[in-house]
Structure 1
Amino acid sequence: MTSGKKILGEKRRQLILDWLQTSKEPLTGSELARRTNVSRQVIVNDITLLKARNEPIVATSQGYLYIAPAAPEQWIERSVACHHVPEDTEKELNLLVDLGLLVKDVKVEHPIYGDLTASIMVSSRKEVTQFMEKVHETNASYLSELTDGVHLHTIAAKNEELLDEAEAALKEAGFLLAD
């Protein structure tokens, strides 16, 4: 926080929304806090309130993104069931982004909490590298470690052929969960 004047309440949330909608890159909570002269925790609360209003904001390892809904003909999504050890996470993500896909999230089925989903939102090797750096910096565990490596990814591509190619590549690499 700087010594400038705090931007309050609804005005601050509208500014955050405007910045997220116009940014091509993720914006961190720290950056938004600096711009509005409030704490990072205030920004986390603001993001929660904006999400409660159904604003399509996603928290990624690189920061917050506003994900405007794409026209149905632009992106096709598919869930793929995968299985691998934690050390293969980077290889798996790079395999998918190298095919031009967006890896939206990871999901696991927890015996107590049911389905757990975490946003990933990577579509390039640079974003995969940033994601992996964040995992290592924070010493965080992968959700798939809760399920011995079994997990789902929502992947998106511009056509079915790319999604089919991705499944074939995952199978060849030994990452696709066998029937």
Structure 2
Amino acid sequence: MIDGDQRKAAILAALQQATKPISATSFAKKFGVSRQIVVGDVALLRASGATIIATARGYLLERESEKLISKLAVQHTPEQTEEELRTIIEQGGEVIDVVVEHPLYGELVGGLHLATVQDVATFIKEADSSGVTLLSELTAGIHLHTIAYESLEVLTKIKQALSEKGILYEENRHA
């Protein structure tokens, strides 16, 4: 068994090579330790400056992107979550996170990092099977998504598609 410093170095090295999230459970199996030990290792790596992102599917290393980034205000029911996320992806966007305004804690951010329709399907399946409450349910469905996209034309297509579905939060619709 390797020691903690070697394990943290190996976690970081694996994340630098990864193109998809790696779960704490898979790291735990690889190193013969508990999932909680891996979670602690990742916390220590973050505290030392590593830009590790935790998603519902595992850990990713944050990378610089050439893509444009914007926030979109949306509102929908929990049943429309898959439709909303698929719409963004199918129009050429990537869903980086979800942001809600909590009355006690202020801004709460949940990392999503959904880039494909399969990512959305996996996220929805995990949400359904875990029985957890979506962050958007804390705010009557109103929330923000940080999205990445290649061009302003793609952003326009995303907004238009969400608007047509009644999901884009627009002043004139909610006044």
Range into which the TM-score falls when normalised by the shorter chain: over 0.9
Q: 2:123 aligns with which of 111, 114, 131?
A: 131
Q: Deviations over 1:93-135 (max 9, x none)?
A: 0001111211000000011110000001101110001101111
Give aligned-pair identity as a percent.
37
TM-score, normalising length from structure 2?
0.94
Q: 5+ unaligned residues in a row in structure 1: which ranges?
A: none
Q: Deviations over 1:143-169 (max 9, x none)?
A: 010000000000001112111211111
Q: Deviations over 1:8-60 (max 9, x none)?
A: 11111110000011011211111101111111001011111112223221111
> Displaced runs of 4+ in structure 1, greater than 4 A?
none
TM-score, normalising length from structure 1?
0.92
Q: Are 2:44 and 1:21 aligned?
A: no
Q: Are 2:157 and 1:165 aligned?
A: yes
Q: How many residues align?
A: 171
Question: Contact (CA 8 Å) 1:83, 1:176: kept in 2 or not?
Answer: yes
Aligned to 2:99: 107
Q: 5+ unaligned residues in a row in structure 2: which ranges?
A: none
Q: Which amino acid aligns with 2:152?
A: E
State the shift of 1:67 in Å. 2.1
Aligned to 1:56: 51
